């Protein structure tokens, strides 16, 4: 069976730990590879390579770094199909959906291609007589990214192009469930001219993560994953003196007002709920039907859910693939059962779905639950599967209060024809990313991505301007060039300008 190795100092590396984890094809349920599980010694080897590379990479010119980014971006275009198939085979999402994540990740590379402009400092002439001030930003050193299974290309791409372009060196610890995309990207970087050691991959689980969080040679950690692990990473890494950005889980609500076009709203909510089998941190998992929008909305959502074509991700015409593991399939189906016992109505039941020829695959069909309340587990828990819960509310203000009481605050959407309602919603809602008639409002790369509350631990969103801030630290320089003959007196009082 194929073994997926680490990537250290520009080459595959077997590592020191003989233990491996199995990598499945979720569409067939079969094992297809094994992945090395990194030890503290492997993390140490990656840090050593990255530290050496930092000495020269941090001194490289903006032109050189920009050229690497342009070349890397072109390679991502040229190899989009190949990478999409690698993602689909290990994750289960459709090849087209995988292509979408590559495109959205590539946009961060495009942002990083504008490095020369983004990294400009500012200059103030004559702040005092004969004195000027300017500032600039410098890279941190060796930084690390720990990423989830659901976007094996895009989420790391939220991190490393900005980290690398700003002069840092990077260690990626991808999800052990779908590790191959990381190595593919490492090879593309090498072909783009990135010096060895600037981008490294250490595979593994908790041991590799713990070694990263405590390693004195790592300056900053970017994490994206579930909220409990985000909290753990934030606690551990900050306790070890590191800068941390930690994005967590989500429960995203789409509110539908009675004035909305129900067909339009249902179409978009269906795609937002069941696309990628609901395994997106921006997936719509709750539809809040306001007033008399409810009955009509449920009817259209039911019809649309029944139309979703479930199958292997590489089969033409598939809308939705399997979920990531057998354990996830069981957990999601149990959650639907529990919802029914707690009083929800199962409008569409995805449990037990079998896909012909793929009977062992980790498939579960789209489920639609009505009359869900805030007290039910199906509402409280992040199910991370193709389950859409409908909660009914009397008014927009009641919907806003419901969402604000939820511990998560990643994304939300409002479907309406009213500008007044949309404005009230975006001002009052305690959520970081908001869509108005847009179900999955993932910001473009030149804005930053991040939720509120338990969806983001600490205070740093990811990519865009916040990414530049995160991966660099500022210096401010106050300068005086006195003429040799100029007499100046040095005051003993605290300096003020004159």
Q: For residue 498, what are its two tokens? A: 């004159």
Name which position in 5, 28, 252, 455 contacts ligand NAD (CB under 6 A): 455
Identity of the residue, 137 or 240, whose beta carbon is nearer to ligand NAD in the bound complex: 240
Q: Are 287 and 390 spatial neighbours (Cβ–Cβ below 8 Å)? A: yes
Q: For residue 253, what are its two tokens? A: 């609500």
281 is catalytic: yes
Q: Are 340 and 346 spatial neighbours (Cβ–Cβ below 8 Å)? A: yes
Residues 358-417 that bind ligand NAD (CB under 6 A): 382, 384, 410
Residue of 392, 312, 286 lying closest to 95 (CA atoms)? 312
Selecting among 281, 286, 287, 298, the annotated active-site residue is 281
Around 461, how many Cα atoms within 13 Å sit in the side-chain half-sphere? 20
Q: CB of residue 173 vs ligand NAD: minimum separation in angstroms?
A: 6
Task: Give the strand order in the sheet containing 123-128.
Answer: 123-128, 131-139, 472-480
Residues in contact with ligand NAD, shown as a per-residue x/- string from 230 to 269 under the rule CB under 6 A? -----------------xxxx-------------------
**Helix/strand/coil (H, E, C) string of 128-140?**
ECCEEEEEEEEEC
Name which position in 20, 28, 88, 175 contacts ligand NAD (CB under 6 A): 175
Point out which span in 35-43, 168-176, 468-476, 484-492 binds ligand NAD (CB under 6 A): 168-176
What are residue 415's DSSP bridge partners?
256
Identity of the residue, 281 or 335, whose beta carbon is nearer to ligand NAD in the bound complex: 281
Residue of 172, 224, 165, 222 lying closest to 200 (CA atoms)? 172
Point out which span in 100-108, 148-156, 184-192, 360-368 binds ligand NAD (CB under 6 A): 148-156
Residues 185-204 that bind ligand NAD (CB under 6 A): none
C-alpha–C-alpha distance, residues 46 and 84, integer Å: 27
149 backbone dihedrals φ, ψ, rounded to 5°: -75, -20
Residue of 55, 87, 94 lying closest to 156 (CA atoms)? 87
Q: For residue 34, what are its two tokens? A: 């094994």
**In this chain, which residue has its C-beta nearest to ligand NAD?**
225
C-alpha–C-alpha distance, residues 74 and 188, integer Å: 10
C-alpha–C-alpha distance, residues 240 and 193, integer Å: 33
Identity of the residue, 300 or 442, whose beta carbon is nearer to ligand NAD in the bound complex: 442
Q: CB of residue 251 vs ligand NAD: minimum separation in angstroms?
A: 9
C-alpha–C-alpha distance, residues 178 and 88, integer Å: 9
Q: Are 236 and 395 spatial neighbours (Cβ–Cβ below 8 Å)? A: no
Residue of 424, 377, 415, 431 lying closest to 397 (CA atoms)? 424
Name which position in 97, 101, 176, 370 contacts ligand NAD (CB under 6 A): 176
Residues in contact with ligand NAD, shown as a per-residue x/- string from 272 to 301 under the rule CB under 6 A? ---------x--------------------
Identity of the residue, 88 or 416, whose beta carbon is nearer to ligand NAD in the bound complex: 88
DSSP secondary structure string for all residues of 110-176? HHHHTHHHHT---EEEEEETTEEEEEEEEE-SEEEEE--SS-TTHHHHHHHHHHHHTT-EEEEE--S
Q: Which helix (H) or strand (E) is 107 found in, with range?
A: helix 95-113
Point out which span in 112-120, 170-178, 262-270, 310-318 binds ligand NAD (CB under 6 A): 170-178
Name which position in 142, 155, 293, 383 contacts ligand NAD (CB under 6 A): 155
Q: Count the site residues for ligand NAD by CB under 6 A.
A: 27
Interface with ligand NAD includes 206 (CB under 6 A)? yes
Query: Tokens 């003429």 appear where?
Result: 483
Name which position in 45, 108, 146, 429 contacts ligand NAD (CB under 6 A): 146
Q: CB of residue 177 vs ligand NAD: minimum separation in angstroms?
A: 7
Q: CB of residue 232 vs ligand NAD: minimum separation in angstroms?
A: 6
Q: CB of residue 295 vs ligand NAD: minimum separation in angstroms?
A: 31
Interface with ligand NAD includes 428 (CB under 6 A)? no
Identity of the residue, 169 or 252, whose beta carbon is nearer to ligand NAD in the bound complex: 252
Interface with ligand NAD includes 24 (CB under 6 A)? no
Give CA separation, 273 vs 13, 94, 330, 388, 422, in Å: 39, 15, 19, 6, 21
Q: CB of residue 253 vs ligand NAD: minimum separation in angstroms?
A: 14
Identity of the residue, 310 or 383, whose beta carbon is nearer to ligand NAD in the bound complex: 383
- Give the CA radius of gyration of the chain: 25
Query: Tokens 């939705």 appear where?
Result: 320
Identity of the residue, 191 or 380, whose beta carbon is nearer to ligand NAD in the bound complex: 380
Around 182, how many Cα atoms within 13 Å sit in the side-chain half-sphere? 36
Q: How far is CA 258 from the centre of its chain?
A: 33
Q: CB of residue 255 vs ligand NAD: minimum separation in angstroms?
A: 20
Interface with ligand NAD includes 209 (CB under 6 A)? yes
Identity of the residue, 83 or 208, whose beta carbon is nearer to ligand NAD in the bound complex: 208
Interface with ligand NAD includes 149 (CB under 6 A)? yes
Identity of the residue, 249 or 366, whose beta carbon is nearer to ligand NAD in the bound complex: 249
Point out which span in 26-34, 146-154, 259-267, 468-476 binds ligand NAD (CB under 6 A): 146-154
> Where do contacts with ligand NAD occur on this chain (CB under 6 A)?
146-151, 155, 173, 175-176, 205-206, 209, 224-226, 229, 247-250, 281, 382, 384, 410, 451, 455
Catalytic site positions: 281
């Amino acid at each position: 069976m194929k073994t997926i190795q680490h990537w250290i100092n520009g080459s595959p590396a077997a590592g020191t730990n003989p233990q491996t984890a199995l990598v499945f094809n979720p569409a067939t349920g079969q094992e297809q590879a094994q992945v090395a599980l990194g030890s503290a010694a492997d993390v140490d080897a990656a840090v050593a390579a990255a530290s050496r590379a930092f000495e020269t990479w941090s001194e490289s010119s903006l032109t050189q770094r920009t050229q690497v980014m342009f070349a890397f971006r072109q390679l991502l275009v040229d190899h989009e199909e190949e990478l999409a198939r690698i993602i689909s085979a290990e994750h289960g999402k459709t090849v087209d959906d995988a292509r979408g994540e590559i495109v959205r990740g590539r946009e961060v590379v495009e942002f990083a291609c504008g490095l020369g402009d983004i990294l400009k400092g500012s200059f103030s002439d004559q702040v005092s007589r004969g004195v000027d001030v300017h500032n600039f930003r410098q890279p941190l050193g060796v930084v690390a990214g720990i990423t989830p299974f659901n976007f094996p290309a895009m989420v790391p791409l939220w991190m490393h192009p900005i980290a690398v372009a700003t002069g840092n060196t990077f260690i990626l610890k991808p999800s052990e469930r779908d590790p191959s995309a990381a190595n593919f990207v490492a090879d593309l970087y090498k072909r783009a001219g990135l010096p060895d050691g600037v981008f490294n991959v250490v595979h593994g689980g908790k041991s590799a993560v713990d070694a990263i969080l405590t390693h004195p040679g790592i300056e900053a950690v970017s994490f994206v994953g579930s909220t409990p692990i985000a909290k753990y990473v934030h606690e551990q890494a900050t306790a070890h003196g590191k800068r941390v950005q930690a994005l967590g889980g989500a429960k995203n609500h789409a509110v539908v007002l009675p004035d909305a076009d129900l067909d339009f709203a249902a179409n978009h909510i269906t795609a937002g709920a069941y696309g990628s089998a609901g395994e997106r941190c921006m997936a719509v998992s709750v539809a809040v039907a306001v007033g008399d929008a409810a009955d009509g909305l449920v009817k259209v959502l039911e019809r649309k859910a029944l139309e979703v074509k479930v199958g292997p991700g590489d089969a033409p015409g598939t809308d939705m693939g399997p979920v990531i593991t057998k354990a996830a399939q069981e957990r999601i189906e149990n959650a639907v059962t529990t919802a029914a016992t707690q009083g929800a109505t199962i409008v569409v039941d995805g449990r037990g779905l079998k896909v012909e020829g793929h009977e062992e695959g980790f498939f579960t069909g789209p489920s639609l639950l009505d009359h869900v309340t805030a007290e039910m587990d199906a509402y409280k828990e992040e199910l991370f599967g193709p389950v859409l819960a409908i909660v009914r509310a009397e008014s927009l203000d009641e919907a806003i209060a419901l969402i604000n009481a939820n511990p998560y605050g990643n994304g939300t959407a409002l479907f309406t024809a009213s500008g007044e309602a949309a404005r009230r919603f975006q001002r009052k809602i305690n959520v970081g990313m908001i869509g108005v008639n847009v179900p999955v409002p993932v910001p473009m790369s030149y804005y930053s991505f991040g939720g509120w509350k338990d969806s983001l631990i600490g205070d740093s969103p990811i990519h865009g301007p916040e990414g530049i801030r995160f991966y660099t630290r500022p210096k401010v320089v106050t300068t005086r060039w006195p003429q040799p003959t100029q007499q100046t007196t040095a005051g003993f009082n605290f300096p003020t300008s004159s």
